[in-house]
């Protein structure tokens, strides 16, 4: 007799956000979740309030530069609509390397 398989899969609802940037006018969001056991960061991009998020895994060596680029795109895409940092609870030194 075989053992039953665990079919549960992790979702973004189970991840802890450590950095969130939102544009309250356009609904755009960029979120970094806490690193997994391998040290990789899960990030989510949402381009509109009803759009499905795009999910990526980012290497810890690249996360600050990746976030800077993503936030730059959000801030430049809609001139006059500010993308604001809502949460920055990333551990140091990462928290100091992320855009304000």
Instruction: Tell me how far apart the alpha carbons of residues 92 and 97 are, in angstroms, rounded to a whole number.
Output: 9
Instruction: Tell me how far apart the alpha carbons of residues 14 and 12 are, in angstroms, rounded to a whole number.
Output: 5
Cα–Cα nearest to 29, from 63, 59, 72, 71: 71
pLDDT in tens, 46-96: 987 678 889 999 999 999 999 999 998 888 877 666 788 999 999 989 999
User: Quick check: 95 and 34 in contact, CB under 8 A?
Assistant: no
Q: Is the pLDDT at 40 greater than 90, yes or no?
A: yes
- Put simply, whether the predicted model's pTM sits higher than 0.75 gets the answer yes
Residues 49/54/55/58 CA torsion (nearest 10 deg): -110
| pLDDT confidence tier of residue 97, bands split at 50, 70 and 90 | very high
Tokens 């940092």 sit on residue: 85
């Amino acid at each position: 007799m075989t053992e039953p398989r665990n079919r549960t899969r992790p979702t973004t609802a189970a991840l802890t956000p450590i950095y969130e940037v939102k544009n309250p006018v356009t609904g755009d969001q960029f979120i970094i979740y806490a690193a997994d056991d391998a040290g990789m960061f899960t990030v989510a991009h949402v381009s509109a309030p009803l759009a499905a998020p795009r999910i990526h895994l980012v290497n810890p060596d690249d996360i600050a530069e990746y976030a800077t680029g993503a936030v730059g795109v959000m801030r430049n895409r809609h001139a006059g609509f500010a993308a604001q940092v809502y949460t920055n609870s990333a551990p140091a030194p990462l928290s100091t390397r992320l855009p304000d």
